[in-house]
Amino acid sequence: MKFSKLMIATIAVCGASQAMAAGVTRLTGSSASSVNVVRGAVNMCVANGGSALVYKTSSSTSALGNQFTVTCSTDFDASIPVTANELRVNVANGSETAVTNAAANPSSTATGFLVPTGSCTPLAAGTEALSFLGAGQMLNCGTALADTSKSDGGFLDVEGPIFNANYDAGDFAPAGFSQVFGIAVNATLYNDLQAYQKTVAGGSVVPASCAVGDTTPTCQPSLSRAQITSLINSSTTNGAKTGGLAYLVGAGSQTAGLTNKITYCKRPQSSGTQQSAQLYFLNYDALGSLGGKEPIIGNVTLSKYAAVENSSSGNVKSCLNASATTDGYKFGVLSLENNPIGGSDTYRFVRLNEVAATEGVAGSTQTSTAISGRYDFVYELSAYCPAGTCAPVIDGIKANVGAGASSPGLFVTGVESKFGRGGNSNKPYASR
């Protein structure tokens, strides 16, 4: 049974009014949208004559983390009819929390938010995706989350009904951004794939002149859509699950001393990254007896294959960065907001069907092939806006991140590219 729009609208108005009366808006949902959320909020604040500060739970100058808060010395936007000068965000548990933690959802639950205090420590200027933040504009407040509340909605990697058919499509609005996803592998798998694909047996996909570990597009090894589908579908007896590394690089090619096992570092069903992977590789948009949908593998441990659930993108990266000595070879799906080059991460992105999603260098946009329509593992973000009405700050964020200003892996839909899905994840990626 779908939620009553009248009931949702009533709850949304009451919930938003209660939050806004104290000047606070709370968002949950997609972690991929985080940098754009901060950029949009900062831009709103500055345009209204204010100065913005960003409070975090760590000392990193390149990453926001799962919980952060933006404050403005004035209201974020003069057009908002009530006080709105503080934005608290928690994206710890994936896209669907934009709904499951929202006050407008009668069955939602509360979650924790970061409350700025005078003891928060100023940090150096932002780096990488956060380079638009100056010295002292970010502060580390530690990990305590003093505000336990329900949210005013938030952003999702794909539309709400993808997560739950009972969600009303009218409660979700286009966020205005498209997001690129890619296949990430641990360093050992990257190097072994690269070596194998330099050979005739491996299809000569990688030029023999490429140095070990080279991440430039021409030198990136490639996995096919069919291979990934076989690795993540529910079958436990296909060659992808019984072959170990030999499924990808031929028998006898694995690095000496490593367990010949492939591990899928997956996400839970509440994750937009996971839903995007299921839409793209398993045809989750296809319904009915002739629909062609393939179920996802559960958490399993087999002799040459394992699937392990990770609650956040950060946990997937940890899974991929971990030593391969005991667990062998690993892969997972990540959004291209993540870039391992130039930092401490050791995982790498591979090409998909021999098309690179990333330029393979530090500081790149990681969107060029998607914008040109050559790479199509791309989905459009949406916002949870009950009965079609977004929290005012959500609308403000959507309007205040312009072309060329998105965080890595994201671009403005319909502005920076003529390709898209027309606001419907079930549609093909095509000229619109």
* Residue 291, domain CATH: 3.40.190.10
Give yes or no: residues 194 and 124 share one domain: no
Q: Are 274 and 268 in contact (CB under 8 A)?
A: yes
Query: Would residue 204 count as lying in a domain?
Result: yes
Give yes or no: residues 241 and 364 share one domain: yes
Give yes or no: residues 188 and 335 share one domain: yes
Query: Would residue 430 count as lying in a domain?
Result: no
Q: Are 264 and 231 in contact (CB under 8 A)?
A: yes
Give yes or no: residues 233 and 326 share one domain: yes
Query: Would residue 57 count as lying in a domain?
Result: yes
Give yes or no: residues 89 and 20 share one domain: yes
Q: What is the DSSP string of 203-216?
A: TT-S-TTPPTT--S
- Enter the pTM of the model: 0.89
Strands in 270-340 per DSSP E: 300-301, 305-309, 329-335
What pLDDT does 350 receive? 98
Give yes or no: residues 51 and 188 share one domain: no
> What residues contact 209, with CB distance under 8 A and at least 6 apart?
none
Query: Would residue 165 count as lying in a domain?
Result: no
Q: What is the DSSP string of 244-283?
A: TTHHHH-TT-SPTTS---EEEEE--TT-HHHHHHHHHHH-
**Phi and psi of 350, rounded to 5°?**
-110, 165
Q: Are 346 and 340 in contact (CB under 8 A)?
A: yes
Which residues of the chain are under the pLDDT cut of 70?
1-22, 252-258, 288-289, 326, 402-406
What pLDDT does 200 receive? 95
pLDDT for 254-286, tens place per residue? 666 667 899 999 999 999 999 999 999 999 987
Three-class SS of residue 187? helix
What pLDDT does 259 receive? 72
Query: Would residue 100 count as lying in a domain?
Result: yes
What pLDDT does 286 receive? 78
Query: Would residue 75 count as lying in a domain?
Result: yes
Give yes or no: residues 9 and 127 share one domain: yes
pLDDT for 352-406, tens place per residue? 999 999 999 998 899 999 999 999 999 999 999 988 888 888 988 888 876 666 6
Taking residue 314's Cβ as centre, other Cβ atoms within 10 Å add up to 15
Query: Would residue 295 count as lying in a domain?
Result: yes
Structurally, how many domains does the chain consist of?
A: 2
**Phi and psi of 413, rounded to 5°?**
-65, 130
Give yes or no: residues 49 and 25 share one domain: yes
Q: Which of 331, 349, 379 is the last residue of a domain?
A: 379
Taking residue 182's Cβ as centre, other Cβ atoms within 10 Å add up to 23
Give yes or no: residues 149 and 287 share one domain: no
What pLDDT does 16 receive? 40
d(CA 431, CA 418): 5
CA angle 280, 285, 290 (to 5 degrees): 115
Three-class SS of residue 73? coil
Taking residue 338's Cβ as centre, other Cβ atoms within 10 Å add up to 24
Tokens of 358: 């990333």
CA angle 193, 307, 241 (to 5 degrees): 60
Q: Are 34 and 87 in contact (CB under 8 A)?
A: no
Give yes or no: residues 192 and 126 share one domain: no
Give yes or no: residues 323 and 199 share one domain: yes
Q: What is the extent of the structural domain holding 265?
A: 179-379
Give yes or no: residues 244 and 201 share one domain: yes
d(CA 247, CA 304): 10
Query: Would residue 236 count as lying in a domain?
Result: yes
The amino acid at residue 313 is S
d(CA 192, CA 245): 9
